[in-house]
Structure 1
Amino acid sequence: MFKPLFSLLALAAAAVQTLPAQQVYLSPDGDDAGSGTEAEPLYSLTAARDLIRRLPAGGDTVTVWIAPGTYRMTEPLILDGNDVRPVVFRSRTAEKPIFSGGIEVTGWTPWRNGIWRTRLPETLHFEQFYVNGRRAVRARTPDIGWYYVKGSRETVLDRGTGRAPQYAVQRIAVEPDELSPLRRMSREELRHATALFYHKWDVTRKPIDHAVPDSGWFFISGEGMKPWNPITDGSRYVLDNYLGALDSPGEWYLSPDGWLYYMPREDESMAAAECYAPTLSRLLVFAGSPDRPVAGKEFRNIAFRTSAYTMPLKGNEPMQAAAEVPAAIEADYASRLVFADCEVTQTGGYAFWLRRECFDNRIERCLIEDLGAGGIKIGETEIRMDGRPVTARNTVDNNIIRHGGYWFPCAVGVAVFQAADNRITHNEIADMRYSGISVGWKWGYNDQKTWITRMAEDGTMQYAEVLAGSPAVGNRIEFNHVHHIGWAELSDMGAVYTLGESPGTVVSNNVIHDIYSYDYGGWGLYTDEGSTGIVMENNLVYRCKSGGFHQHYGKENVIRNNIFALAYQNQLQFTRVEPHRSFAFERNIVLSDRGVLLSGPWREADIAMDRNDYWDLRADTALRFCGLPFREWRRIKDARSVVADPMFRDPEAGDFTFRSLKTARRIGFVPFDYTQAGVYGSAEWKERARLDETVTGAFAVAVETREAHYKAGAPQRSEQ
């Protein structure tokens, strides 16, 4: 009985001894029973990890050479404190190998009305689906846009101790015709249908418990409504995940009994279509511990594709920035990780999360796109009270992060939570539904109590109120190109959004444009909720709906040497007067062609304004400063500022180079090369960062549609 065990150990020892120069090989044709040599490659990352663990500790770096092709992952690669050797995972060729968390779906047959279907095991459940590399849309009604709630009534059954009731039932009133498809549904089918509600800056997604279509009512339950974002008269909603909604090409539906239905797009043939469903929510996990962190792992020129997100049984409560949503690649207690020239695409949630005590990691030259949520999260969402260090000194440089928010429209491109001294530089961040970059995660000043949250395993949010300072200090947001954000879906957003005391944080040399919210709050630079000690300089910000800059409330920020131009409603906005210096606004150029110049109580606030240049492209418009002509305004603020043509070459076409520096010199404005923002490197990489014209065209249509809504007489809100 001991002979097989002895043979197995001998085989493992032989495999370790014969590894040439500490190299391991993987191939799509490999076998995890192989030795890992070039002649006998392995198949999975997990097998490579296990082989490396058997090597003697303290040796040289191990290189895992990966042949091109597609590798189907049946489990995530988990690296922990047992993985002590430095390892480089890299492609053997210029072609990226693909590690996929999805399974192929075949066996399609025609059904009816242009819909095809295939039978899957009833135990297989997924909420994202891809056809020929494109994300399909889970069947929804309406197909485009949303319906509007007529009213709601909440019955609280358990008050609890949090910020909202622990358990409540909501009756939602809508137009009866909007619920007509639900009349023919069985109780089991109805149990799988969901309602997605759009709030100001986040969303709620809940299963439908019961419906009375003839009365125009349906019922949801779970946590009580949030006082800051309730479901009320005028709230927007969408119904999805039921067969009756499958009526447009590109839509799909998975029934409780295992039938998968899909209506092909015009250019798709189901006889040849490549269809994939994600089965893994995480592809890579770095699971270190305080005494045994993970360190020294590199991934180069590798693609990670098709990760899942599954809604908890109770649904999704509203969550700013989709902060607690998992990521395809997650790390805790990890340092000196490198992801270079990689791709992370087709995610259910975020792509990366460097969460707890992650230091000196780098994500660079990566393509991060087609995202259910957002791109990269850094740091924890809760403020630790145990004195342990926070995540710090991570670099996100020269990446393309785009096409996100498909499942969680409230997600952001890059979020820095409770983390310090990170560098977010030279990234292309575009086509998101909420903010581009978010920095800080404490609402208010350090001497004020704040709520910290964490998500329980069942998806419910747990709340605690604490007195703690913000650890999000010293972060640098520089040379990023952030554009085509918002899509008129949510409100209260910023291309760069900050909150909490953040001394040493710098936002500079970014180019920001085409930021458009649904209602109020489509800003370029946005200092919110106690933002303090932040310097914003040398940024070019233009074509933002609500203003190039807005401060809700904060202290001692510096806004200098920026260009704010061509916003729709307000060029600049300020909200709360406080008994301290709110910010300095100096050496900026403000160019308008419509809307209000200064919105809010600028006149009453302690704002140091001086040496700015203001100009309006409309020849017959005299600028007004909080209702005052400039000659009177200068007696209050802006004593050395001017109203003069800044002499840009063609600002309406996006050319903000100077025809002359005459006006700039008058105010001490220092020209900066805004063309350096965004990605750098090869011409091919720069070209790849360009947003496709079909996307920019669709964004323009969304803006035009909303602007037409205002021109028809709808109110334009500017308040919080």
Structure 2
Amino acid sequence: MGVRSCTDGGACSILQPMNATKSVTPTVHALPKRLFARSGLTLPSLLAASTCLSVSAAPRELFVSPRGDDGNVGTKQQPFRTLLRAMQAVRELRHPAGGVTVFLRGGTYELTEKLTFRPEDSGTATSPVTYASYPGERAVLSGGRRIAGLWRQSPGKPYLETPVPEAREGKWVFNSLYVNGRSRERARTPNWGEKVFRAEERAPGEDERQAFRYRPGDIDASWSNLNDADLVLLCSWTPTLHRIEEVLPDRRVVRFHSSHTRAVDAWEQHFRYYVSNVFEALDQPGEWYLNQHTGVLYYYPLPGEDLATAEVVAPTVKSRLVEFLGDVSGGGFVEHLQFRDLDFRHVDGDLDRYNGMYRQGHMFLDAAIYAQGLRSSAFVNCEIAQVGEYAIELADGCRDNRVEHCHIWDVGAGAMQLGVTDLNRLLGDRAPASGEDWHSEREVLANVIDNNFIHRLGTLWHGCYGIVNRFASLTQLTHNEITDTHWDAIGLDARWNWKGETYSHGNVVAYNHLHHLGLRYHTDAGGVYEFGPLDTHIHHNLIHDTVAYPYICGYAGVYLDEQSRGALVENNLVYNVDWFAYFQHKGMDNTFRNNIGAFARDGLFFRGGLNDQWRANYCETYRNVYVANDAVALRNAWEPGLKPPVLHDNLYFSLATGTDVTFAGKSFAEWQAQGLDQGSVVGDPGFVDPARYDFSLKPAAAATKGVGFVPFDDEIKKAGLYGDETWRKLPEKYTPRTSSAVWTPEDLAKLIAFRLDFEDLPDGYEPSTFRLAKEGDATFAVTSEAASVGQKSYKCTDRKGLKKPFYPYIHLAPKKLSEGTITFCFDAMQHKGDPAPFYVEFRGAGSTNDVGPSIRFGKDGNVEANGKTVLTAEPGTWCHLEIAFELGAEAPKEYSLVTEYRGERQTQRLPFRHQTFGELSWLGVSASDDVDGVFYLDEVELGIE
């Protein structure tokens, strides 16, 4: 599989075994025979499918021109005008010997509706059909229309306007605008690159999925056409877009539709968002706004942009520009088509259709080029740009197709979706009596995505995959260069609790160049990310320069997530990444070997995600080399799990002078004493110039001698694009977008401060100020049973026999709060008849081993700090406490405690429990014992200065 003739002198090897040396001709990756048997394919059929078709007779030729006429005969001298007429002519030719080539003369072909290919439009193996630009010219298939009206300056404004009468009539409403060959930003607030908004909290009394309270000044109920504006909630990895339904300014509440199951603050308490399509936010060059009620389009030109001569295009076609609709269930496929040297442009994203929807990677989205039942076909040297959703989708029943040497950029979502998105639909074809060898024609197999340049993704929907392989097998993702995207560059996402492995296996990700990824909007990402498939081979990928939203997870090089099983990760080079170089989370039986990692925020590797359900989270990690520019070789400790991971024969080194590398804070000797990294060494591996990213090994380098590392210097240089110099240097013409600014820890500290008196909250309400962990009716909730001031307080009900004895508890988690003065005040009362013990605790980065102030309330009314009784408050009576301390390099390692009870006020200074405490990462209140009981809190206030 993956055989290709290489005649241009560029790198042509798709797949190489680990010890391979430089080769001239490509090799076929060795796949288990069972994979071919399972799929119903043979090796010869795979080889034939992935090579260019060769026919002996010359193809028949038809011609299309923007200046042609569909009444013509389709010759060069008398060309057709439309592709539809050319397609009809192809059908009428009935597969002539040698096939048919349809040449499109240069120019733009405006499509007012999507173009559909059906089985009757197919070629055959001996009579293929090709659609191509005429040599030396370039044909553009456009789903858009030029804005033809005259532009005039809006009175007193820096932007211009032009009438679009069809918008007022509802006949032409668009979400995308393309100026001089590039998409422009819908007017938004805050602007791109600025710090986004932070929500105040969930909206009390509202659906926690469909409303929140905004901070003063962030949303204005007087905005024009408020119900046309979209909220973009950034979440962690995949954001959601929601049309505003209502704003209640007296409560500072915004309502919207959402089909997401999670609460708005599932990932962060003061979650991030921005508002798009707001006329009053039209304040930056490159932004635009369409008032669909008055039929006026506004645009703020970039410096030097003259709208009198600019090409301004708005899409008329939504989602799909071209579709291939095979009859998968009936066995009728669209086959043997090739599209060469064509441009596909100007398609809109359908924001109405997907309002409020969520799925990881936005895999519910459509594609400009959508196919089901497409086989033995190819897109070669095409450009897909300025489209609103995904660029290409090869869905149910697509097999033996190629996407090669294509330029895919300026895309509303991601570049490509491959495979069946819903395993239930695939399995739905199975008859009850089907045996083990049954396979569905819906299975997606043996597609090759090779030598494509992909960049500037997510212009409408952030958090999309660059390329995602879903339930698809034997896919080759090779030699692609992907840059300037928010989230995962390459994803293999086929999850189904191990049941879907048969339908996503044997995939190869090799020789890709993935770089300058992440724009600080999203996190929990990887250059190559996997969730679910079986036995993926990930090798010879060059991955570098990733950035993540800094307060959740990070952006790794290679990331094997849940249900990844039997993957082999080898011969990859990863550096300058904003998390681990290599990472496994809840996977099984994966191998990481002979890789290079360097300058990763959290070191070479981590195996995480252990819990009762994932005790078999196993991997083997060996013969890898890691170079740090600080002291961190491995940042995190490893839990052993049911089947301890094998970590051995690795080499670690730091370029920092006089620095000893550390392993979860331990020395190398202490690390090995735990049984980890046996056979591993610390020392200079012998790279030529790692500080300048030259990881070639010197002769007789220590890495090869010390741990048996096998050099792959020559092979890694083949990662990325190959071909002529113009193609290989094309990425140099495009500058990636700059990363967005983010809130600093000092900014976030201002959000954390709060005061709760609970008076305006309904009984039973669970305030979102704190994160709540509960079980059954063991919870914290507002009550009218008691109050120290007013009528209401915060009641904690504890129960005996809970799965976790420290439940219920509330907490908040500040982000890297290491400077300032912290004060925490509250009133407390234990129930007179059923008192419940609890504690209030401040923790640092080291969790329970890094505690500052810690106050415990006993069942008998004793209040202790540092094991010393500081107050006795009889159950059924209120007491008041104030805790204050400073954070900073010179701050004392102690805190002030004020207690007030029955009119007596006392102040004392006490040491932190641990002298290491210097950063507030967790403040919590926990019902600490396994008992039935109740306590109350009131007048709770946190101050940060």
- TM-score after normalising by structure 2: 0.67
TM-fit CA distance, 1:184: 4.8
Using the TM superposition, give the Cα deviation of residue 48 of structure 1 relative to its aligned residue in structure 2, in angstroms. 0.8
Counterparts in 2 of 1:255 and 1:615: CA distance versus 1, 3 Å = same
Describe the shift of the 1:472–1:626 C-alpha distance in structure 2 as closer, same or farther (beyond 3 A).
same
Superposed, which structure 2 residues align to 1:451-600 within 5 Å? 468-469=500-501, 471-503=503-535, 505-518=536-549, 519-577=552-610, 578-580=614-616, 582-594=618-630, 596-600=632-636
Secondary structure in 2 matching 1:559: strand
2:163 aligns to what? 119
* Kept in 2: contact 1:152–1:170 (CA 8 A): no
**Conserved? CA contact 2:651–2:707, under 8 Å:** yes
Is it true that 1:252 corresponds to 2:252 in the alignment?
no
**What is the CA deviation profile of residues 270-289 of structure 1, one whole-angstrom value per residue up to 9, with x for unaligned ones?**
21121001111212111011
1:34 aligns with 2:80: no
- Residue 150 of structure 1, aligned match among 200, 206, 214: 200
TM-superposed deviation, 1:640: 1.2
In the aligned structure 2, how far is the partner of 1:603 from the partner of 1:204? 34
Summarize the Cα distance change of 1:538–1:169 in structure 2 as closer, same or farther, 3 Å threshold.
closer
1:565-622 CA-to-partner distances (Å, cap 9, x unmatched) read: 1012443222134544611111100111236432444252411122110111222322
Tell me, in whole angstroms, the C-alpha distance in 1 between the residues paired with 2:337 and 2:598.
44
* Offset from partner CA, 1:622-671 (integer Å, 9 cap, x none): 22223432223334022211101112222222211123442122211111
CA contact (8 A) 1:540 1:562 kept: yes
Match in the other structure for 1:695: 736
Q: Say which SS state the counterpart of residue 457 (structure 2) adopts.
A: coil
Whole-angstrom CA distance in 2 between matches of 1:560 and 1:516: 25
**Bigger shift: 107-116 or 553-562?**
107-116
After the TM superposition, which residues 668-683 of structure 1 pair with which residues of structure 2 at under 5 Å, given as runs?
668-672=708-712, 673=714, 674-683=716-725
CA distance in 2, matches of 1:620, 1:608: 29
Task: Classify 1:707/1:597 alpha carbon distance in 2 versus 1 (closer, same or farther; 3 Å).
Answer: farther
Q: Cα 1:66–1:614, aligned 2, differ >3 Å: closer, same or farther?
A: same
| Distance in 1 between residues matched to 2:659 and 2:686, nearest whole Å | 17
TM-score between both structures, scaled by the size of structure 1: 0.87
Q: Following TM superposition, where does structure 1 have runs of at least 4 consecutive aligned residues deviating by more than 6 angstroms?
A: 154-157, 703-712, 714-719
Aligned counterparts of 2:503 and 2:174: Cα–Cα separation in 1: 37
Using the TM superposition, give the Cα deviation of residue 224 of structure 1 relative to its aligned residue in structure 2, in angstroms.
5.0
Once the two structures are superposed, the pairs formed by residues 274-293 of structure 1 within 5 Å of their partners are 274-280=311-317, 281-290=319-328, 291-293=331-333
Of 706-715 and 531-540, the range deviating more from structure 2:
706-715
Alignment deviations for residues 352-406 of structure 1 (CA, whole Å, 9 cap, x no partner): 1000110000000010111111111110211121241410100000110111011
User: For 1:640, which of 662, 665, 679 is the aligned residue?
Assistant: 679
Confirm or deny: 8 A CA contact 1:151 1:232 kept in the other structure.
Answer: no
**8 Å Cα contact 1:623/1:629 also seen in 2:** yes
Q: 1:653 aligns with which of 692, 696, 700?
A: 692
Q: Is the 8 A contact 2:287 2:300 kept in 1?
A: yes
Please give the secondary structure, in 2, of the residue aligned with 1:50.
helix
User: Which ranges in structure 2 are unaligned for 5 or more consecutive residues?
Assistant: 1-57, 431-439, 749-814, 820-843, 848-920, 922-945
Inter-partner Cα distance in structure 1 for 2:502 and 2:351 = 30
Find the aligned partners of 2:545 and 2:745 in 1 and give their Cα distance.
Answer: 14
CA-to-aligned-CA distance 1:147-185 (integer Å, 9 cap, x gap): 00111138788xxxxxxxxxx8733101121123x3253
1:440–1:502 contact (8 Å) kept in structure 2: no
Aligned partners of 2:244 and 2:742: how far apart in 1?
32
**Equivalent position amino acid for 1:671 in 2:** P
Residue identity matched to 1:70: T
Question: Within 2, Cα distance between the matches of 1:302 and 1:604?
Answer: 54
The reply to whether residue 134 of structure 1 matches residue 134 of structure 2 is no
| 1:176 partner SS | coil
Rounded Cα–Cα distance in structure 1 between residues aligned with 2:183 and 2:846: 34
- Partners of 1:611 and 1:150 lie apart in 2 by 50
Please tell me whether the aligned partners of residues 568 and 595 of structure 1 are also in contact (alpha carbons under 8 angstroms): no
TM superposition shift of 1:60:
3.9
* Residue identity matched to 1:307: V
The alpha-carbon deviation at position 214 of structure 1 amounts to 4.7
Q: Distance in 1 between matches of 2:352 and 2:243?
A: 10
3-state SS of the aligned residue for 1:254? strand
Task: Name 1:75's counterpart in structure 2.
Answer: 113
Cα distance in structure 2, aligned partners of 1:574 and 1:228: 29
Match of 1:199 among 225, 235, 239: 235
| 1:610 counterpart letter in structure 2 | H
Query: Which residue pairs with 1:23 in the alignment?
Result: 61
| Cα distance change, pair 378–560 in 1 and its aligned pair in 2 (3 A) | same
CA contact (8 A) 1:115 1:261 kept: yes
Partner SS, residue 90 of structure 1:
strand
Percent identity for Structure 1 against Structure 2: 32
* 1:451 equivalent in structure 2: none
Gaps (5+ residues) in structure 1?
1-19, 158-167, 447-467
Structure 1 residues 630 and 231: alpha-carbon distance in aligned structure 2, compared to 1, 3 A threshold: closer
Q: Secondary structure at the match of 2:563?
A: strand
Q: Secondary structure at the match of 1:54?
A: helix
CA drift of 1:686 comes to: 0.8
Counterpart-to-counterpart distance in 2, 1:706 and 1:412: 29
Residue deviations 1:239-296 (CA, integer Å, cap 9, x gap): 1212111111111011122111111111111211210011112121110112210000
Distance 2:214 2:106 in 1: 52
Q: Aligned residue for 2:480?
A: 427
- The verdict on how the C-alpha distance between 1:511 and 1:333 changes in structure 2, with shifts beyond 3 A counting, is same
Closer, same or farther: CA 141–708 of 1 in aligned 2, 3 Å: closer
Partner of 1:408: 461
Q: Distance in 2 between matches of 1:543 and 1:691?
A: 23
Which residue in the other structure is 1:223 paired with? 259
Residues 595/311 of structure 1: CA separation in 2 closer, same or farther (3 Å cut): farther
Mapping 1:315-326, distance limit 5 Å: 315-326=355-366
State the match for 1:304 in structure 2.
344
Provide closer, same or farther for how the CA distance between residues 586 and 417 of structure 1 changes in structure 2, counting only shifts above 3 A. same
User: Is this contact kept in 2: 1:442–1:470, CA < 8 A?
Assistant: no
Alpha-carbon RMSD: 2.6
Pick the structure with greater CA Rg.
Answer: 2
Q: Which residue does the alignment assign to 1:93?
A: 135
AA aligned to 2:69 is D
**SS of equivalent residue, structure 1 residue 695:** coil
Give the conservation status (yes or no) of the 8 Å contact 2:561–2:585: yes
